[in-house]
Amino acid sequence: MNNIERQFLIDDLKIGEAWRLFKIMGEFVEGIDTLHDLGPAVSIFGSARTQPDDPVYKKTEQIAALFAKNKFAVITGGGEGVMEAANKGAAEAGGTSVGLNILLPFEQTPNQHANIKLDFKYFFIRKVMFIKYASAYIIMPGGFGTLDELFEAVTLIQTHRIKPFPLILVGSDFWGGLVDWIKSQQLAEKRISPEDLEILQVMDDPEEIVKAVQKVVIL
C-alpha cells in the first residue's frame, strides 16, 4: 500500500466515525422523543435467563403489576426473563410497559409484552434512558449485566450526578452476601462512606417495595 492509498483508507475511517456520531445522536433523539411524556416510572432489572416457573419471575410480575396499578410506568431492557416478567405484569395490569431492547448477536430476544418499544445499538444510550426516565431502580436477581446497571446507578448517586432516587435490591437471600461483602471490605477499609451504603435498600415484600418508592416520588 502506497502513501496515497493509505491516506484514502484513513479518510474513509474518519468518515465512518463521523457517521457513527449521527447514529448515536439519532438514538438519543428517538429515545427522548418517545419517553419525554412518560411520567413517573420505575426501571426493573434482572436476569434474562430467569424462567417463567421461577419464583423470581412470578415476584417480578407482581411487583410490576403493583407499580402499574399505582400509576407508575415500568421500564425494562425489553428482553426475556425478568424483563419479560416485568413488562408482562405492567401490561396485564393496564399500565405503561416500556421495553428498551439492545441489539445483540445472541441472547437478547425482545419480549411481546412491552407496549412502548425502542431498539438500541449502543449500551450507553440505553443506560441513559433507564436512568433519565426512572423515579426508582428495582433490581431483581441477575448476572453481570444486572450488576453493571446496579453499580452505574450507585456511582451516579454517590457522586451526585443524578438525584438520589430509591435503589432497591429485591431478595435478601440473593443480595445479602453482596451487601455483607460491601460492609466487611469496602466500608471497613474506608473505601466508601457509611452514607454511601445507605444508597442500597434490600427488600422482599412487593407491597413494601412500592410503598418505599411512593414515599419519595410525587405523582
Give 38-89 pLDDT, tens digit per residue: 999 999 999 999 999 999 999 999 999 999 999 999 999 999 999 999 999 9
Can you list the alpha helix ranges (DSSP code H) found in 106-187? 123-132, 144-158, 172-181
**Which whole-number Å values give the CA distances from 88 to 174, 192, 193, in the listed order?**
23, 37, 38
Chain segment 175-200, per-residue pLDDT in tens = 999 999 999 999 999 999 999 999 99
Residue 219 resides in a domain: no
Q: What is the mean pLDDT of residues 18-31?
A: 88
Residues 82 and 188 placed together within one structural domain of the fold: yes
Query: pLDDT value at position 1?
Result: 52
Arithmetic mean of pLDDT, 83-112: 91
CATH code, 134? 3.40.50.450
Q: Is residue 219's pLDDT more than 90?
A: no
Give me the domain span that covers residue 1.
Answer: 1-37
Cell of 11: 479518510
12 with 71, same domain: the answer is no
